[in-house]
Structure 1
């Protein structure tokens, strides 16, 4: 058996096809000699392999050869089989044994051939952001760089917020949800997101940021950019998990805003710290309570069950997680689920190079705005469909209740078990506090409106009406144009941007993260 050291792709192909069956040397010898890579002698042609040699001969395939076969068989290697499945396909189709990591590197090589390498993605980033701002005037696309010890300019942070998102957010409730999720490419990093909720209870992305990690500097930089498009105000509420860097950044950039903790993360903390799921349920009941009386009763039950848990919740700050004590308006946003949903939609793009990730975000935003614009314009009701469903569910709870009229705008609702609630239609208030907290009429307000002949749509806040829903998606998000058709400034076209100085961890990147607390 003869082994050749040439490393060209065509030579590797010959080595692969021939070593699959050692006796193919005679068939392929003429082809190998015609390539000019190796001089075949008569001694080579007279060589033959015995059956024992053929049985024990274990052929291998390199990652580059498997990558070529992989790309030829699957048109889109990005959505092709995983490394484990590719390992089985190589064994079945090519009769070649190969390791898992070889197949993993083969798929990565094929994907890089389609998408481009991560290093090239950073070099094209300045030009892409410039073209994106040309296509979407008034959008914010800021690139933060740093200079290393050798004088090279390297990527540090990037911030992106489309003008359509900024314009539409003015018609939403002034409440934003913050979160960060990890990227899985070569240079890692974290994707920071800020989003709200539209009138139809759908996720509304406002801003995106790509940073090195979730630290104080990164979050302060991100919120500083966000503050330029969404000013600090006492009418603003911010919801997030209790990450220390988020708490520090909010206090530094948004001192007047009201910061609330995500209830789901708080319940996970209670479960992991005190090993008691019943405590977690009680914490959720206390957090969602509408009246102070009910909150105190549930919190007393938590204290009697586990005094350490009650002290832990008190030290966190009851105003940050309890609805009844929150100083701002949380409406129905008691968790950071809006950002969690957005991160799920971005799952495919998070495994892409940074340029393709931004293109994925732009494409997703364009589709969302177009689809929701059409949906909102087709809707004929005064209030949005999801709010209408909430009010329909509230009406089903009105069975067995009685109404006593106090005045033309004030009524008393007596429940089936004798519980009384007073409704002030003019002030949009009810003693159950649900109407006042959510800005959506409760069952008592709906019954009072029926009694006086008032339409339901007049009881709902303006932020939940179809008019606000249509205005939210009035603007459009356009894709970037062709750089060849535009005179790009020299400071953009000649900027040599290198990737950040990070080392890729060993092993396979994790696809499923640990449950956050």
Structure 2
């Protein structure tokens, strides 16, 4: 049994607010663990795991004994390839002291399982809204960081994680080259293909710039994530002062060579006409780049 967790569309089919029943079945051990966790959260109870392996999952109330005999045994049925409740002793009767705002079993997996459909419907949904949804459902307020981390898991499950997305980059760039004026730069002598820089624009932008004012504004912004880098942009303006983005590049940083890379391809693909004024924040790396002395 691996530690990877498989997301589903919302909570497990079995409603953890209800009691378990003998013979109740689950599709995987992860579903079993989630159901028991959610049951304990909704009942404000604590339990301990007595046994957990590839074939059995046995849990009981942390105060198991004369005061409470709550316990559950769920085993894997090879014939049906399902997990099944083999023995369930209930109800949970002992009284627990206050557990505070958070519940120790309200972990990332439980939260991610609950917010999956919300994030899938609206990836931009705020953490505060998700926090409210978790609190309304479970009765406990999870921390901002915990909900944020759970949302990242869901995003990675829906759209792929950093490594998977990075591996897809060459294929996407190749597709862009087939239909767009894209120029990309890769290391020349290496056994491993690594992303270096990429410049791209769109033909409608190139055509539109011919009817814009003869000046552009250039700037860069840092990319925050696992791989970092800098996004460079060139912006134009039409006769009605509407803003038009005309070129983009992802480079390693705002230094002389990346700016030279960007400006040279900008001139080649978008602004070949002479006398185009360049407006910038006078970053020293821009000043030192060729073709950036006030005009292209």
- What TM-score, normalized by structure 1, do the two folds share? 0.41
Structure 2: distance between partners of 1:28 and 1:214? 61
**Mapped pair 1:175 → 2:200:** no
Is the aligned partner of 1:146 residue 2:187?
Answer: yes
Residues 16 and 61 in structure 1, CA contact (< 8 A), matched pair in contact too:
yes
Summarize deviations over 1:311-355 as a string: whole Å, max 9, x none.
xxxxxxxxxxxxxxxxxxxxxxxxxxxxxxxxxxxxxxxxxxxxx
State the SS of the aligned residue for 1:193. strand
Given that 2:215 and 2:277 are in contact with CA atoms closer than 8 Å, whether structure 1 keeps it comes out as: yes
1:179–1:240: 8 Å Cα contact kept in structure 2? yes
> Residues 222 and 74 from structure 1, CA distance in 2 versus in 1: closer, same or farther, beyond 3 angstroms?
closer
Alignment check: 8 A CA contact 1:143 1:157 kept: yes
C-alpha displacement of 1:211: 1.5
Give the Cα separation in 1 of the matches to 2:110 and 2:86.
Answer: 24
Higher RCO structure (Cα 8 Å, ≥6 apart): 1
Q: Summarize deviations over 1:52-99 as a string: whole Å, max 9, x none.
A: x464594432212211210134542412232x4423332231123433
3-state secondary structure, aligned to 1:210: strand
**How many corresponding residue pairs?**
242
After TM superposition, the score normalised by the length of structure 2 is 0.68
SS in 1 for 2:194: strand
* Contact 2:71-2:89 within 8 A present in 1 as well: no
The CA deviation at 1:23 is 8.7
Aligned with 1:111: secondary structure?
helix
Q: Which runs of 5+ in 1 are unaligned?
A: 260-517
Aligned partners of 2:237 and 2:243 also within 8 Å: yes
Structure 2: how far apart are the matches of 1:146 and 1:15?
52
The aligned residue for residue 291 of structure 2 is 253
Measured in 2, the distance between the counterparts of 1:148 and 1:89 equals 52
8 Å CA contact 2:217, 2:234 repeated in 1: yes
Q: Report Cα offsets for 1:252-295 as digits up to 9, x if no partner.
A: 2345x549xxxxxxxxxxxxxxxxxxxxxxxxxxxxxxxxxxxx
Question: Which is richer in strand?
Answer: 2
For 1:12, the equivalent position in structure 2 comes to 33
Deviation at 1:206, TM superposition (A): 1.4
Q: Which segments of 5 or more consecutive residues in structure 2 lack a partner in the other structure? A: 6-28, 48-59, 61-68
Task: Give the drift of 1:118.
Answer: 2.7
Report the RMSD for the aligned CA atoms in angstroms: 3.5
Q: Which of these two proteins has the greater Rg computed from alpha carbons?
A: 1
Q: Does the CA contact (< 8 Å) of 2:221 and 2:231 recur in 1?
A: yes
Q: For residues 147 and 12 of structure 1, what CA distance do their matches in structure 2 show?
A: 50
More helix by share: 1
**Contact 2:278/2:292 (8 A) holds in 1:** no
Indicate conservation of the 8 Å contact 2:177/2:183, yes or no: no
